[in-house]
Chains A and B, each alone.
Chain A
Amino acid sequence: MMIDQIPTAFLFFAGALVLLALPQGRLRGVLLLLVPILAGWQVWSLPFGNLQPVSFFGFDLELMRVDKLARLFGLVFCLSAFLGNLYAWHVRDTVQQVAALLYAGSAIGAVFAGDLITLFFYWEGTAIGSVFLIWARRTEGAFHTGMRYLIIQIGSGVILLAGVALVYRETGSIAFEKMTLGSLGTWLIFLSFGIKAAFPLLHNWLQDAYPAATVTGSVILSAFTTKLAIYALARGFAGTEILIYIGAVMTIFPLFFSEMENDMRRVLAYSLNNQLGFMVVGIGIGTDMALNGAVSHAFAHILYKALLFMGMGAVLFRTGTIKASELGGLYRTMPLTTILTIVGAVSISAFPFFSGFVTKSLTFAAVGNAHLWVIWGALVFASVGVLSDTGIKIPYYTFFAHDSGMRPKEAPTSMLLAMGLTAALCIAIGVYPAPLYALLPYDVDFTPYTTGHVIGQFQLLMFALLAFAVLKRAGIYPAEERAIYLDTDWSYRWLLPRMIRWIATLTGRIWGGTTGMMHRRVQNIIAGLYHSHGPEGRMASVWPTGSMVIWIAVLLGVTLIVSFFG
């Protein structure tokens, strides 16, 4: 078959070209759905191995290295490209359509890259493709956010390239295989992966950019970039101990911020960050089971996070706002969106019989097997946090809580269809995880539905729910606005409430202070540079002929001195 000869990523790029030739309308929508289906089918039918060796500039590139790990990510990327495009059926914006294809194509290309140079090309491809999903909003704010996002993403690529060059110098190989941290080169590669994976302190681009994208853009954004980084970490740094601690911090750190956040899509961005933490922990442990956990969690996570972004996107699409304080009571007119969002919320909270449960419990089991009890505790804490932050906060304040008085129409059919399909997949994986387990890179010897697991999880969830209910009941009497204040801290009211607030404020202050200072300093530097190098500056001004000649004499003198006495 001809199609087997083409790297999967090129299918997407070719699709983008064909798209430009088609008139705006249904035909484009069909093409946008067809491309991921075709690509998914291709990925599914490819044999394992290195299929597309190419020689470029003296290097042997591997455009299609297919194995179980790559195939799983390739499949889920095709799947989420399909769902995202279905969700975006109503969009009639060429920029977004092309960007979605280029972005998804680059991400898939990166997953199948068998060498670091190919990886670098696609790595930058994802950055360039995705930024247009932010710019497509066409506001001044979106432009600046996009610019910041692009700088960080391109920066990650540049660091990657530097790392690759160093590793190549050291080992003489550009193969993308497991690496050990140690040399500067591997550290740089690690750092570049870390930026895309939104490691703590490298994470700000995520919460900055995702809520700023278009309604459909953030659905597509949520799927690829960070999960590509997770794939890259799983491929390159499995079993790197430091990842366990980074991951643990990552699961907890975003909770404080998301708890205080009012913008629902930003809440989702924070909880995305937190979910990445679970995967990073799994990769850090590096046992077969832990890697299975991380990878399957990525798979499930892409789906339910997309579902949540879809739900919030639909609300934004219909109401024009996504602020918790302005929303509420939408269940009356958007019942289907409500139900489907709740499915996503329940999945992310890892209720039994939903996808989050069967994948997260793999990670938990792996942490338990490794006897990392502190980490285990952190993850439990984070799980409770997710439930309150996302599992309850998102549906509660959007669809229930105090009535905002808004009566928007139900979401468009294409959106509902996309959400319905995604929700069905979330439930299907949760009820019958065997097919997903079969796709995982290592053999799975694990049953999620043992009495112990289920009861343990229910205890955790019920306790958290109970706490919520009790506090809610106690808080019914105060005016409704106070409920919003309540949500900031209710789940931690029984857990060092002051300290958390203090940490959050302090971090915020320090962050604000340092960035403010940096900002001022950068402004000053630029002003100084402009003063000296600008068109009116000394460096750029037109010099009189005589002083030009002086330079010649000076340089001759210096050269002579250096030559004679050096």
Chain B
Amino acid sequence: MSAQALHTARTLSDHLPVLIIIIPFLAAPLTVLIGSRRLAWPIAFGAALSSFVISVLLLLRVLDSGVISYAIGGWLPPIGIEYRIDAANAFVLLLVSAIGTIVLPYTIQSIKSEIPERHHTLFYTMYLLCFTGLLGVVVTGDAFNVFVFLEVSSLSTYVLVAMGAQTDKRALTAAYDYLVMGTTGATFFVIGIGFIYAATGTLNMADIALYIQVHGTNRTLETAFAFIMVGMGLKAAVYPLHLWLPNAYTYAPSAVTSFIAGTATKVAIYVLLRFMFTIFQPDFLFEMHAVRWVMMPLAILAMFAASLIAVFQSDFKRMLAYSSIAQIGYILLGIGLLSTTGLTAAIVHLFNHGITKAALFMGVGALVLRSGSSFYAKIEGMGKVMPFTSFAIVIAGLSLIGVPGTAGFISKWVLVQAAIEQGYWPLALAIVGSSLLAIIYVWRVIETLYMKQPADGWVKQEAPLTMLVPLWIMAGATVWFGIDTELTMTAARTAADGLLHGFMAGGQ
């Protein structure tokens, strides 16, 4: 690996992989240092937007010319920290930075009603830190660096969740639970990394992969794998480890939920992918067993159990939280198939579900702004009060079901194809069957919004434009990516190919 060709002539565009992190990372303390409530938002938005632009550039470049390797401070890997970008992380970078940027304008009005004003500056600081952390986890090629960024994002998320305390004090316990659980997960992860370091003597992912390829695995590495899978599984809300999620999503401020629901679990899934396919290989027997006997059953369990819970919920936001857990099941199922099509489905669903859920949570936030609560009983007839918001929710809801013409359909279609490809009929049926449950829980929302009468004395009162526009951008994106699949499918397929066959080869 040390034979890696170094970038000798360093132009600004060569530094893109690090700039995507540095800009928001420096902007975060800047908001506190300047300390101005008025300036905090422009700084945050500017930083997020530049990260978004960089992620687009990176994705285009990766799709065009393959893996980018960047050595921090000129220290060559495996000694120094390496940022390493292929199609898989470039795609996730795009998802995270896009959602992070689009949600920001939405926060202005949303947090006004949900967070005390003196915390607004701090909110943007935390938001930027979380944003940086998530991007950092994705961009880095160093296993320990993943842990560092993961903690950056997690710690700031705990604070963000706790900020919901003005609306509902339960946000505090939710944040506390999340803290305990999240830290346990992160600890497991770092224990796994420790085992790997003990066994291989390196922390660079590519280097570890090379070592394992040459020397094979041993008990230590297998244990490491189990620790990492469970630790990351917790962060990704894999079914029985999801218990932190419903409360955190429900009681966090709407803007926070919109942001982390679309990104945080997806990033954890990305890390799982990295460890399962790049560092370890699915050809290893122990990994096959873990996937077949642990991951797949849990995925199917999640698809049904979480969907059923969602069906019976009486709170829109909580329902969406449980539906997220079910959707994670689909993604894991795609991964568990261990085929190119399956991985493509998982990655494309990761993206499509990210934008769908972000749109839905933004919609709920807008409803809450007017109704004061996300309980079904409180949002009855909101289709009349807030027609634009409600219609955007319907569109995103259709995508959640997977109705043709929406992004959700594309990923489920590919997933069904992947299952059939390997002859797993019952799996294909299970996917369709659990989609029926999605029809029920989305229908309940539509029924509440459109078929009930709003409370007496209602007037038409749409959400402010700063919320509507981001919401409609997201809702529009679910339709756009349901029709024009060029970008998402190409990126996902390249990423899947890269993960299964060529991460190592691509960089040499």
Q: Tell me the smallest distance from the CB of B31 to a CB of chain A, in Å.
A: 32
Chain B residues with Cβ below 8 Å from A516 are: none
Within B273-329, the residues touching A (CB, 8 Å) are 285-290, 293-294, 305, 308-309, 311-315, 322
Q: Tell me the smallest distance from the CB of B479 to a CB of chain A, in Å.
A: 14
Residue of A nearest to B247 (CB): A542
- Contact between B312 and A563 (Cβ–Cβ < 8 Å)? no
- Contact between A562 and B294 (Cβ–Cβ < 8 Å)? yes
Q: Tell me the smallest distance from the CB of A77 to a CB of chain B, in Å.
A: 23
Question: Among the listed stretches B218-226, B330-338, B377-385, which one makes contact with chain A, having 4 or more residues with CB under 8 Å of it?
Answer: B218-226
- Contact between B417 and A165 (Cβ–Cβ < 8 Å)? yes
Cβ-based interface call for B416 (8 A): yes
Cβ-based interface call for A21 (8 A): no
Q: Enumerate the 5 nearest inter-chain pairs by beta-carbon distance, A residue then B residue, closest first.
A: A566-B289, A563-B286, A534-B312, A559-B226, A533-B308
B residues within 8 Å of A by Cβ? 176-177, 180-181, 184-185, 188, 219, 222-223, 225-227, 229-230, 233-234, 240-241, 243-244, 246-247, 285-290, 293-294, 305, 308-309, 311-315, 322, 404, 410, 416-417, 420-421, 428-429, 432, 485
- Contact between A169 and B420 (Cβ–Cβ < 8 Å)? yes
- Contact between B181 and A545 (Cβ–Cβ < 8 Å)? yes
Given A563-B222, A563-B223: 17 more A-B contacts, CB < 8 Å: A121-B404, A534-B312, A535-B312, A535-B313, A539-B309, A542-B247, A548-B181, A551-B241, A552-B188, A555-B294, A556-B226, A556-B227, A556-B230, A559-B230, A562-B286, A563-B289, A566-B290
- A553-564 vs B, Cβ < 8 Å mask (1 yes, 0 no): 011101110111
Bound CA span A542–B174, Å: 10
Cβ-based interface call for A260 (8 A): no
A539-B309, A552-B184, A555-B233 known; A560-B223 Cβ under 8 A: yes
Chain B residues with Cβ below 8 Å from A564 are: 219, 222, 286
Contact of A545 among B180, B219, B230, B404 (CB under 8 A): B180
- A525-539 vs B, Cβ < 8 Å mask (1 yes, 0 no): 000011001110101
Q: Tell me the smallest distance from the CB of B379 to a CB of chain A, in Å.
A: 16
A552-B188, A556-B230 known; A166-B312 Cβ under 8 A: no
Q: Tell me the smallest distance from the CB of B291 to a CB of chain A, in Å.
A: 9
Q: Tell me the smallest distance from the CB of B290 to a CB of chain A, in Å.
A: 5
A551-B241, A566-B293 known; A540-B322 Cβ under 8 A: yes
What are 24 A-B pairs at a CB distance below 8 A?
A: A162-B432, A169-B420, A529-B308, A529-B312, A533-B308, A533-B311, A535-B312, A539-B308, A540-B312, A542-B247, A543-B243, A551-B240, A551-B241, A552-B234, A552-B241, A554-B240, A555-B230, A556-B230, A558-B293, A559-B230, A560-B223, A562-B294, A563-B290, A566-B286
Contact of B180 among A121, A166, A549, A556 (CB under 8 A): A549
Chain A residues with Cβ below 8 Å from B311 are: 533
Q: Which residue of A57, A169, A534 has the most chain B CB atoms within 10 A of its CB atom?
A: A57
Q: Which residue of B225, B309, B314, B428 has the most chain A CB atoms within 10 A of its CB atom?
A: B309
Chain A residues with Cβ below 8 Å from B241 are: 548, 551-552, 555
Residue of A nearest to B240 (CB): A551
Q: Tell me the smallest distance from the CB of A16 to a CB of chain B, in Å.
A: 17
Main secondary structure of the interface of A (DSSP, over half): helix
Bound CA span A159–B227, Å: 42
Chain A residues with Cβ below 8 Å from B429 are: 162
Q: Give the number of residues in A that approach B within 8 Å (Cβ atoms).
A: 34
Chain B residues with Cβ below 8 Å from A165 are: 416-417, 420, 428
Residue of B nearest to A536 (CB): B312
Chain A residues with Cβ below 8 Å from B288 are: 566
Bound CA span A72–B86, Å: 55
- Contact between B404 and A562 (Cβ–Cβ < 8 Å)? no
Q: Tell me the smallest distance from the CB of B238 to a CB of chain A, in Å.
A: 8
Bound CA span A33–B429, Å: 43
Q: Tell me the smallest distance from the CB of A273 to a CB of chain B, in Å.
A: 27
Bound CA span A162–B428, Å: 9
Bound CA span A539–B310, Å: 11
- Contact between A562 and B312 (Cβ–Cβ < 8 Å)? no
Cβ-based interface call for A365 (8 A): no
- Contact between B181 and A549 (Cβ–Cβ < 8 Å)? yes
Chain A residues with Cβ below 8 Å from B485 are: 57
Chain A residues with Cβ below 8 Å from B234 are: 552
Chain B residues with Cβ below 8 Å from A543 are: 243
Contact of A540 among B293, B309, B420 (CB under 8 A): B309
Q: Which residue of A121, A165, A543, A562 has the most chain B CB atoms within 10 A of its CB atom?
A: A562
Bound CA span A124–B398, Å: 14
Cβ-based interface call for A38 (8 A): no
Cβ-based interface call for A152 (8 A): no
- Contact between A551 and B294 (Cβ–Cβ < 8 Å)? no
Residue of A nearest to B223 (CB): A560
Chain B residues with Cβ below 8 Å from A552 are: 181, 184-185, 188, 230, 234, 241
Bound CA span A290–B296, Å: 51
Residue of B nearest to A563 (CB): B286
Bound CA span A556–B188, Å: 9
Bound CA span A158–B311, Å: 20
- Contact between B226 and A560 (Cβ–Cβ < 8 Å)? yes
Chain B residues with Cβ below 8 Å from A540 are: 246, 309, 312-313, 322
- Contact between B177 and A548 (Cβ–Cβ < 8 Å)? yes
Q: Which residue of A121, A166, A537, A540 has the most chain B CB atoms within 10 A of its CB atom?
A: A540
- Contact between B293 and A562 (Cβ–Cβ < 8 Å)? yes
Bound CA span A542–B250, Å: 12
- Contact between A563 and B225 (Cβ–Cβ < 8 Å)? yes
Chain B residues with Cβ below 8 Å from A556 are: 188, 226-227, 230
